[in-house]
């Protein structure tokens, strides 16, 4: 069994209050006693038990991490970053999965409160707003969603993506999103459109409406595909490769988030990475401030970084433009 304050006190013939004082640096204790106590604490490997402390101080040293879908492939990096940042600040992390269900999300929050979580870091379900929480909370969503505390600059990421392709000479882009309701994806697409030069055309596809035939799109004139997620970029990439379309020679492909596989495929996937350590550190930092009674810190927007890999390259100099393509291009530039 773990040693208690009482055990140390008994062995040293002092009171538990003195031990506590030494450990916390408060109160008045002689140097000699301080030394003796420290030594004994080390010797027995004493660590204050969380239950007693939490009960007395109301601080459990734990916060909750509520996610809409742990199985999202982006989550590992995120959870790891949060856990690391939390551990650095001396906090433990309690996880919960809301399965994208607002009711489950609420339930998870209640359970965390019951477990004594001091605060929570929450990535809200798509479409739900988090507010009036009975607990200090840090919300990680997108810059455009109200209540957001920290997030990547998805809009700038979108701009970076389009700019990158435009500089490579691409003039016909296909943008692929999953769901219109996702504010993150909307921000990214919005950024892409904002960076679009007037002589560049972009078509948008939402996968919730059905999957496009990527090879056909390329044959119809698209030279680059940007997906709002590496997962969908990967789908596009493998579809193209399977159909005999060379990447990046005939078409470039880009994604978002730099998933674990993105660097491991051939060609490597050019993507816009979120700075997870930075976001997590900021989230934990903000939470710590809130717990110390500070006012809600201003929302923080963390830049995204372009990870240049092999899936993007110069736009092909089409040797045989079809009449169809010419007509389309005429539409745009007119």
Partner DNA sequence: TTACGGTGATTAAACGATTACTCAAGGCGA
Partner DNA sequence: TCGCCTTGAGTAATCGTTTAATCACCGTAA
For the chain, how long is the longest CA-to-CA vector?
Answer: 95
Between β-strands 270-273 and 305-307, what pairing exists: parallel, antiparallel or unpaired? antiparallel
Q: Which of 10, 15, 209, 333 binds DNA (CB under 7 A)?
A: 15
DSSP characters over 64-129: EEEES-TTSTTHHHHHHHHHHHHHHTT-EEEEEE-TT-HHHHHHHHHHHHHTT-S-EEE-PPTT--
Instruction: Give the per-residue SS3 of 229-289.
Output: CHHHHHHHHHHHHHCCCCCCCCCEEEEECCCCCCCCCCCCCEEEECCHHHHHHHHHHHHHH
Alpha-carbon distance values, 131 to 4, 15, 89, 105, 149 (Å): 40, 46, 25, 12, 12
Which residues, 164 to 223, sit near its own copies by CB under 8 A?
none
Segment near its own copies (CB under 8 A); pick from 17-25, 53-61, 118-126, 322-330: 53-61
Name the residue nearer to DNA (CB basis): 31 or 167: 31
Q: What is the closest distance, in whole angstroms, from the C-beta atom of residue 163 to its own copies in the complex?
A: 26
What DSSP state is assigned to residue 25?
A: T
Sites for DNA among residues 22-51 (CB under 7 A): 23-24, 26-33, 48-49, 51
Q: How far apart are CA 107 and CA 110, in angstroms?
A: 5
Q: Taking CB under 8 A as the rule, does residue 62 contact its own copies?
A: yes
Instruction: Examine residue 79 and tell whether it contacts its own copies (CB under 8 A).
Output: yes
Task: Say whether residue 198 binds DNA (CB under 7 A).
Answer: no
Per partner kind, with CB cut-offs from 5 to 8 A, the member of DNA, its own copies, none near residue 16 is DNA
> Which residue among 10, 17, 216, 296 contacts DNA (CB under 7 A)?
17
**What SS3 state is found at 153?**
coil
Please report whether residue 320 would count as binding DNA according to CB under 7 A. no
Query: Which residues in the 243-282 window bind DNA by CB under 7 A?
Result: none
The Cα–Cα gap between 84 and 97 comes to 19
Quote the CA–CA distance of 255 and 268 in Å, as a whole number: 11
Contact range with DNA by CB under 7 A, out of 18-26, 129-137, 274-282, 312-320: 18-26
Contact of residue 21 among DNA, its own copies, none (CB under 5-8 Å per partner type): DNA
Question: Which residues are at the interface with DNA (CB under 7 A)?
Answer: 4-6, 13-18, 20-21, 23-24, 26-33, 48-49, 51-53, 55-58
Question: Which residues are at the interface with its own copies (CB under 8 A)?
Answer: 2, 47-52, 54-55, 60-62, 69-73, 75-77, 79-80, 83-84, 87, 92-97, 110-116, 134, 231-232, 234-235, 237-239, 241-242, 244, 246-247, 259-261, 264-267
């Amino acid at each position: 069994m773990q040693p208690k304050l009482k055990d140390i006190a008994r062995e040293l013939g002092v009171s538990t209050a003195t031990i506590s004082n030494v450990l916390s640096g408060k109160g008045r204790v002689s140097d000699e006693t301080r030394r003796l106590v420290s030594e004994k604490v080390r010797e027995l490997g004493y660590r204050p038990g969380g239950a007693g402390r939490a009960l007395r101080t109301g601080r459990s040293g734990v916060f909750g991490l509520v996610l809409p879908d742990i199985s999202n492939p982006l989550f590992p990096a995120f959870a790891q970053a949060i856990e690391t940042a939390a551990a650095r600040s001396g906090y433990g992390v309690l996880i919960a999965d809301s399965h994208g269900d607002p009711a489950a999300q609420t339930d998870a929050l209640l359970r965390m409160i019951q477990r004594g979580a001091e605060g929570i870091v929450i990535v809200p379900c798509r479409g739900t707003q988090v507010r009036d929480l009975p607990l200090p909370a840090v919300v990680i969503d997108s810059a455009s969603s109200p209540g957001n505390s920290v997030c990547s600059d998805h809009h700038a990421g979108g701009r970076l993506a389009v700019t990158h392709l435009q500089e490579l000479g691409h003039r016909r882009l296909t943008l692929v999103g999953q769901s219109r309701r996702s504010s993150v994806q909307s921000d990214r697409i919005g950024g892409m459109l904002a960076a679009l030069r007037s002589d560049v055309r972009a078509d948008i596809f939402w996968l919730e409406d059905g999957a496009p035939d990527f090879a056909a799109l390329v044959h119809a004139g698209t030279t680059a595909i940007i997906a709002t997620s590496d997962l969908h970029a990967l789908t596009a990439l493998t579809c193209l490769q399977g159909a005999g379309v060379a990447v990046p020679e005939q078409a470039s492909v880009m994604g978002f988030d730099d998933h674990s596989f993105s660097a491991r495929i051939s060609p490597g996937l050019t993507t816009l990475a979120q700075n997870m350590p930075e976001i997590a550190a900021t989230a934990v930092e903000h939470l710590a401030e809130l717990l110390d009674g500070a006012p809600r810190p201003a929302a923080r927007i963390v830049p995204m970084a372009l990870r240049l890999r092999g899936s993007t390259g110069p736009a092909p100099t089409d040797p045989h433009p079809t009449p169809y393509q010419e007509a389309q291009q005429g539409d745009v530039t007119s």
